Structure 1
Amino acid sequence: MRELKTIIEAYKKATAEGIKTVLATVVHVDGSSYRRPSARMLVDEHGITTGAISGGCLEGDALRKALHALVQNRNVLISYDTSDEADAVVGAQLGCEGIIQVLFEPLDANNSMNPLKLLEQIIGSQKPYVMVTLFNLKDRRGEQSGCTLMYKEGEKITGSIDNQKLYDSILNDTNIVFKEKRSLFRAYEDNQTTQNAFIEYFAPAVSLVIVGAGNDTQGLALMAETLGWNIYIVDGRPSHASESRFVSSCQIIVAKPEEALQNIPINEQTVFVLMTHNYHYDLSILKCLLPYDQVPYIGILGPKKKFQRMVDELKEKGIEIAQEQLDRIYAPIGLEIGAETPEEIAISVLAEINAVLNGTKGTFLRDKRGPIHTKENTQFDTLKI
């Protein structure tokens, strides 16, 4: 999300200065690639780029293709085959052995369907969104529709399609994407043509609630800001929980434990880290959090015996922590990477949270069997309309 914010900021600056821009988006990958579908790069008419669609090997040619699309003032679809060693553009330079589809869209500041205008609505949102991008793999020189529709929780926000059958099919698939919470690739086929679609799922922005405003939480907040997460600092001490001690994007909440959660929007992308070094404050926050089944991660700093003491004391008060609740609690907090300093601990904690949110174990990639990125749901399912 951080990269997307940077792209939007660069676009707004260029627009204010009257500079024309093009958005390059990876809309599909078959095989391996450094970046996955949804990677984006902004190119302005002076050749300045923001963001990336690869590890650097595609950007040079993509810059030329973007400027060409800008001159033509039309959407252009380009295929990069990184498995072709004879390709002087990429070939052996990348070594990923994948076919990457990149859509170049010149941006019209006056167009309400401008994809960056739409993406700006997503930044920081507490609701999931779906964006539909249409392109044509069979007729690359034909019309490439590009960003066509946007939905929020199944409700259409903007966009239209003249073909009613196509629209109805996309709407149905959009509902599937919302339900399964993952992007979908579809090829819609009728008697005349085939339209490929990248139906892209945007989860709500990650919100990190750091309970504690000690010195060791400052590095954690700083690194989380780099990821583009929403950050809340919660503490009962106004001397510690102050704006001067944390990055500007942090929202500071000074409150008693039972009042703190009232000021925080909580959803399935809200995670909590309890590290006040005040046992009773952390215990009270944990007690308040237990009913929130949608919270996927509650991390508690400290040894196992501290958490066991919490479990025992809650049990004495008649509060039994169910297994489903225990599964969401990570104590001790963080991945085992030998972390000692506050900064190293912050890396350990953020890596664990990212692994939990993405449903992975946080193990060594070299020990993983098969490709780094899952190929599940990356093929175009063809639907007759």
Structure 2
Amino acid sequence: MDREELGGWLRLTLSPGVGNGAARRLLSRFGLPSAIFAQPEAALRECVTAPQARALCEVPPAWAGLLDTTLQWLGGAPGAPGADNSGMPPPARTSEPARAVITLGDPRYPAALLDTEDPPLLLYVMGPLSLLRLQGQPFPRHHCLAIVGSRNPTAQGADNARLFARALHACGLTIVSGLALGVDAAAHEGALDASATVPSRDTGVAVPATIAVVGTGLDRVYPSRNLDLARRIAVHGLLVSEYPLGTPPLPANFPKRNRIISGLSQGTLVVEAALASGSLITARTAVEQGREVFAIPGSIHAPQSRGCHALIRQGAKLVESAQDVLEELRLSAAPPVSAEGAGGGEAAPSAPAPENALLKALGFDPVGIDALVARTGMDAAALQVALLELELEGRVARLPGGLFQRLGVA
């Protein structure tokens, strides 16, 4: 886009009181934004309300500054003026990310979002130049799966997110999530660990490992702890936002962006979620968009599992392995990727190792020392030593409140 065309789209998104629905009516009636702003107020009132028409006839105060900032960002500037120090690096080398603004009229706009009720007018996107070039299609046309869940997962929940993402990306799916702490970050990491060059099932061309849909402008990363992860995604996947550069992490933006996470995906897998979790918003929008919803069951004692159990009662598919997801989406599995595939369903069979007696006593629910003393007959000091050994082996996690939880599956 040239400066004038980009300026028209930005002005349309900044016009106060003019939401996506009104903007789409205007675009349908008049064409490009430049044609909308060339109309007299009376013509605009045929599509929108009088206050909206008046707003469209005035240039928003922030428009000129945002246009300059966006052009600088597209050209490689590291961030908007005044942004915090979490701006992404400029694309000075071929290994660093390219940037694009993709509008509803752009052939690169994701087809899956066009089928939803409220597609964003434009998307700010950061990723490999090979995906963002004008002739390319950065978003897979099919075979994306959203993985979402608690920001404070159990150790097992974080492992599940990572292992499912790894196994499912190895089978050709792009993993979509929201770059939040906890399950989101683990899902992105699992996909990145699997491969950045898994071929598309449709074209054979490499697809992005993962897509992070964020609730801020792309010139900053929230939470800042995920800055390194965001940089990895920008090289091997896509960072996406509908919000203008400079947009801070406003609480209302995160539930709103969830419709993009589910809309890009064939289905949404909820790993762990409390009853009041934002992940349940994503699951609800997935249902409204006609997408599949999957949930991993957990301990009846864990608050992080109650949202998943509620989804299963409401008809979500109970998932125990990545194969369950593939079967529901009518996709075939790729060859086994490792001996630690999600849910044990993707690995080649091998002889089971003898089970540690303490692991058997632990079960799979969080448990305290007193309960373990009663189950095993060991004294507390010996138990602490044995638990530490298992913790160092990565088979047990120490949880807040003096609890311990077994990791992995038998």
Fold in common (TM above 0.5): no
TM-score normalised by L of structure 1: 0.29
More strand by proportion, 1 or 2? 1
TM-score (norm 2): 0.28
